[in-house]
Structure 1
Amino acid sequence: MRTDDVLAATATGLWHWDNGAGTVTLDAEAARLLELPPAAGVLRESAVRSRFHPVDWNEIYGVVSLALAEGTLAEARLRIVDPQGRVLRTVRSRAKLLPPQEPGGMDYSLVGTLQEVAEPQPGTAGAHTTITGDWRRSREAFLLDAGRALAEARSTEEVLRVAASLSMPGFSPDGLAVFGIAGDRLSITGHHGHKAGDEAPFNEIRLDADYPAAEVIRTGRAIYLPSPEEYRRRYPTTWPLAGPFARQSWAFLPLTVAGRTTGAWLAAFRHPVSFSAEERSVLTTVARMLAQALARAGIAETERELSLGLQRSMMPSLGPAVPGMTVAARYVPTGGGLQVGGDWYDMIPLPNGRIALVIGDVQGHDVRAAGLMGQLRIALRAYAAEGHRPDAVLSRASRFLIGLTDAYEDGEETGPRFATCLYAEADPETGVLDIARAGHPDPVVVTADGTAMIRQTEGGLPLGVEADTDYPTSRLTLGPGETIMLCTDGLIETGGHDMATGWIRLRPILEQQTDDLEKLADALVQAVHGPTAHYTTGPLADRREDDIAVLLLRRDGGAPQGLVGRRTTLTIAQAEPEQISVARQQLRELLRDWADPEQVDAAVLMTSEMATNVLVHTDGDALLVAKATGEHGERRLRVEVADGSDELPHRRRPGEMASSGRGLVLMEMLADAWGVDPRGAGKSIWFELYESNAEAPGDEAAGTGTSGTGIPGAGTPGTPGTPEAPEAPERGDRGD
């Protein structure tokens, strides 16, 4: 009997589907089963496709992909329909997949059989239920939910937890394990349905061992073991490891991403599973989603580890305690990404026994900004360790950054990067800080009584803008109990604020007078991002627009009993008369809660007169020192302006149209006390104001008499019988 006769007798036809050519070759029996003219021939793919139910035809591609991945037969049950869409019969296709002739090609062929099968009657068993619409719908719903859950997992632990909770339609496994690769051995990444410690023997299996997971990783093809007998027959060496778990069926599937097998997934069942084509399709799809989820989680964890490593290198521990000083710092990156940017801070021990405080901000929030920041930070530490002064450290750092950004230049870059920086050299014994600033926000000083003031300092261009840039140095002294805050602009301007409004937001936080710098640092960050932020609702709520770095330094100790107060100092150079405006602003901040606003205006006017006189009538600089001491409402303000000239001021009688000569007249009219004190090669002219306007306690405070100056009339205004001072020579006149 001929083979064709045998196939016809068993209602079995032959077909050959050439995907590349788009043709299907049928014998006579196959054509009959497809409700086509019963004659052998070659048809277009579209003609054959019209005979299959649309849902079943779409599933063919999934079955073919599964067979191609596993190297197995492509099996499917397909419904044959008439031109009106009525189901006429169901056929089973079993075909061998012929891979593409060219490596990496997409043109494959199927050679196999078509055989008619009987559909089960309602309420009867037999004929696998996976061909029903209900199973298809439940499978699609399961895969949709599984894909969504795995896509939302952000760590390997979450992925494994989701995988353990998956309930597959009709054949849920009760034991799961994910195998990874550790050198030349398997490693258990995670498992479910086993006791702790059960994974130990499997961690010792070599990749070349006769074990299903190892073979899956070597070949990239799935292995299905429907019975213990099949497992024992195929893998007798490692069966003793699997036997004690009393499972009945096992599926080992490759975890493949971008064509590379990175591990294996085990699904073990306590009930027998035949692993039909539909079941294998579900398992294969889950394995692919699991592999992608694990790959994403691994990348995310690697990025987090990189980010944490960068942060650890960027934010070193502040080191051993500094005698006489307390330091605290915080860094908050922008949301998302690598959680690292261009902001940094540092504390550097110096060869002279002092410490350097550094804070800076490299332009940008990307990986390159973080890389530049790390290199710039190392360069600053090196220059500081060589013993250079603050201005020299910043000058060298600027040249270093220019050379560094030039080296980075290529077609994809938009231009050189710059960085702002503030470098402060602090003496723990005296509280003196020498500050050099490169385009960075000014520091803020919090006095012992809790008054926060911006201390304007001289500065230069940001680092990396010009190679030859000078960075003038400013000096300020922290008194006992005073704190200085250095921060990047992210702390001030985040949340839609500018420098002015951002400072208003932070000032109450700094004036809380907390003795714990760590709590103060946390409060500053929370003022921007926490529940106390200005924007608590809406699109700006908890929005991280910029990195934040903040560094706090407090000089330990406190002011002597009864003299707790606030102070400010400022040097006004001959070449910088604009510093007089800075002096007026600092004095207003010092007296911002003074009881009498008119006294504040008077103090600002007299201070401006004294500083201007130094610049006009001497060749040296002026040193301004202002102190406010005592209890609120009973405070005393003392302002001194010192210079290096030994010529004493004289009071004049300016005419109505005179443009000068009223300085001492104003002192007599507005000050509660004033005077001039010789100081070595120079002198200091001073005045005092009393908040309660009561008589000062003691002659020294009141400034009665000549106050040691030899100037008649220098004292309390309105003193009876005070003779007027004679006219002074023009050059020595200091009366305006």
Structure 2
Amino acid sequence: MPLSTRHPATEVAHTGRAVWLESPEAYARGYPAMWRLTSRRGREAWAYLPLVTGGKVQGVWLAAFGAPRVFSATDRALLRTAAALLTSALERSRTGAAELALSRGLRSSMGAAAGGVRKGLTVANRYVPTGGGLMVGGDWYDVIQLPGGKIACVVGDVQGHDVHAAGLMSQLRTAVHAYAAEGHGPDAILARTSRFLAALDEDRFATCLYVEADPATGVLMLARAGHPHPVLRLPDGTCLIKHVRGGLPLGLLGGANDYPVDLVELDPGEILMLCTDGLIENGGDDMFTGWVRLRDALTEADPGDLEGMADRLLATVETPDPEVAPAHGGDDIALLLLRRDAHPEQGTGAIPERRLVLTLRQDRPEGLAEARAELRLLLHDWARQDQVDTAVLLTSELLGNVLVHTDQSAALAARLLGHAGTRHLRVEVTDQGDELPHQQAPGELASSGRGLILLDLLASAWGVRPEPEGKTVWFELNESEDDDTPEEKTEEELLENW
């Protein structure tokens, strides 16, 4: 019926005041035109109460009784309380519908950043929202087509899991997309986005990992804002956490943050995984145990089926032991897998090879520990653990010498070639310093000068190679099931040989 009809409900809708009808006679006197319809329902008393939100009547609730009733003050208070609860439920329902529509739109827009092959690079993506009812939360991923045939892969995480976080996520994603389209580099994009978020909301921050990829060369430029490090899967299944220099999360300190850029060259067959912490710290895992779980899944997955690999990674979260933790830890998950495809002319019978390339800068000495960790992961299945320790020790010596005795950065290149049991490791450390290392005979109390002695004692071979700018110090180790440690030499013999 139209609101102009003479009816108890329309009166409540117009005035916002409840109507109490305690008997059929009261109803017939007040609303004679409607009584002939109402009398057929066999009710004897009626209470019509407004449902008010934001100062406006959103609806009218009817409570009908089978016998005449005198509505006491207690009755009326109870019914008004029930009406207030119904109002809250109605408001939550409408808000939930609006949030669901918003999240569906946001998720659909993320889905538009489709994966697939992009001239030598294959991308797979997944998004799993929190269990709170929304189809999208504060996490996001994006794949952006850049000028010159390059692409950008972005993964981010806004603090919180509510609709406000989802709204901020959408704005940040748009800002990153816009800055990337303008042609800015990864560092400038994150710096601008950080200031943008600080201007929007001082109470929220976000983490982000931005990767600019050149499909023609496999060169990646990475910038990180408080986000988990990416993971590199080598063609033989070995997985490395690629430590990337980073700045503070977006939006902190007024947004005035600096984000250094690291370079990584992705070889054919290698896969880079970008994800939010929901994939790692979920199902009862902390950062370490979550990494072990993902490492095992990455190693065992078929590298030729990137979509299957993404599904396998999510399956490790969605089916944990129910006695240990719930199936979903309540945090959103965003996942991107980026694979550089092998050239068609490459044969399948090539000798297996692994490579590790990184740069250690003077202003970031903590990178020495990260280099040791990545080298150990590179040698995770080396036959003899003592040789792994030797490789890590010698690499630390070479990198530490650059940090201590020069003002240059150190470039580390490690290459593992061959089949298990008979592999060959070569490690090179290059810097731009002009001074070549000199062999010394340090005394017992000397604090330095033993680096080359260790190389001569422990390495299968080593040497120093002058470069057009600087020098390279290298060593080699050969894997063997037998103890093939070089013959020990006395200090007198070493000095005599020198």
Q: TM-score, normalised by structure 1?
A: 0.54
**Are 1:403 and 2:199 counterparts?**
yes
Offset, 1:104:
3.0
Distance 1:257 1:563, change over 3 A: farther
Q: How far 1:685 sits from its partner (Å)?
A: 1.3
Sort the Cα spacing of 1:633 and 1:111 in 2 relative to 1 into closer, same or farther, 3 A. closer
User: Contact 1:70 / 1:222 at 8 angstroms: preserved in 2?
Assistant: no
Residues 566 and 296 of structure 1: CA distance in aligned 2, closer, same or farther (over 3 Å): same
Q: Does residue 554 in structure 1 map to residue 339 in structure 2?
A: yes
1:240-255 pair list within 5 angstroms: none
1:671-730 CA-to-partner distances (Å, cap 9, x unmatched) read: 11212223322221111111117899xxxxxxxxxxxxxxxxxx9997xx999576xxxx
Alignment of 1:11-30 (within 5 A): none
How far 1:357 sits from its partner (Å)?
1.0
Question: 5 Å matches for 1:36-115?
Answer: 104-108=17-21, 110=23
CA contact (8 A) 1:668 1:717 kept: no
Cα gap change, 1:539 to 1:688, in 2 (>3 Å): closer
When residues 386 and 723 of structure 1 are mapped into structure 2, their CA distance, relative to the original with a 3 A threshold, is: same
Q: Map residues 305-316 of structure 1 onto 2, 5 A cutoff.
A: 305-316=101-112
Q: Which moved more, 1:575-584 or 1:635-644?
A: 575-584
User: Shift in Å at residue 377 of structure 1?
Assistant: 0.6
Trace 1:293-442 onto structure 2 (pairs within 5 A).
Answer: 303-318=99-114, 321-406=117-202, 416-442=203-229
> Offset at 1:301?
5.9
Letter in 1 for 2:209: L
Residue deviations 1:444-467, cap 9 Å, x none?
Answer: 000111101111111110000022
Pair 1:632-2:417 in alignment? no
* 1:44-80: CA deviation from partner (whole Å, max 9, x where unpaired): xxxxxxxxxxxxxxxxxxxxxxxx8699xxxxxxxxx
What is aligned with 2:241? 454
Cα contact 1:220–1:261 (8 A) shared by 2: no
Q: Deviations over 1:610-633 (max 9, x none)?
A: 111122232311100112121112
1:475 shift after superposition: 1.2
Aligned pairs for 1:145-544 (under 5 A) are 303-318=99-114, 321-406=117-202, 416-466=203-253, 467-514=255-302, 515-530=304-319, 533=320, 536-538=321-323, 540-544=325-329
Q: Is the 8 A contact 2:16 2:50 kept in 1?
A: no
1:668 aligns with: 456
The answer (yes or no) to whether the contact 2:441–2:495 under 8 Å persists in 1 is no
Tell me, what secondary structure is at the counterpart of 1:631? coil
Q: How far apart are residue 480 of structure 1 and its match? A: 1.0
CA deviation digits over 1:266-325, x for unaligned, max 9?
xxxxxxxxxxx99xxxxxxxxxxxxxx999988866654432212112342326731111
Alpha-carbon separation, structure 1, partners of 2:165 and 2:16: 43
Note the aligned Cα RMSD (angstroms): 3.6
Query: 1:522 corresponds to which letter in structure 2?
Result: D
**Letter matched to residue 106 of structure 1:** V
Q: Report the Cα offset of residue 651 of structure 1.
A: 1.7
- Note the alpha carbon deviations across 1:560-616, whole angstroms, 9 max, x for none: 743322221111112222221111111111112211000011001100111111222
Amino acid at match of 2:140: W
Aligned residue for 1:595, secondary structure, equals coil
The number of aligned residues is 438
Equivalent-residue separation in structure 2 for 1:605 and 1:522 (angstroms): 39
Which residue identity does 1:488 align to in structure 2? T
Flag the structure with larger Rg: 1
Fraction of identical pairs, as percent? 52
What does residue 81 of structure 2 align with? none
The 8 Å contact of residues 481 and 554 in structure 1, kept in 2 or not, is answered as yes
The code of the aligned residue for 2:394 comes to M
1:445 aligned partner, one-letter code: L
**Alpha-carbon spacing, 1:643–1:716, altered in 2? closer, same or farther (3 Å):** farther
Q: 1:651 touches 1:725 (CA, 8 Å); kept in 2?
A: no
Which of 341, 352, 355 does residue 564 from structure 1 map onto? 352
Unpaired segments of 5 or more residues in structure 2? 1-6, 27-32, 41-48, 52-56, 61-65, 68-88
- Output the CA distance in 2 between the equivalents of 1:341 and 1:652: 61
| Greater RCO, CA 8 A, separation 6+ | 2
TM-score after normalising by structure 2: 0.79
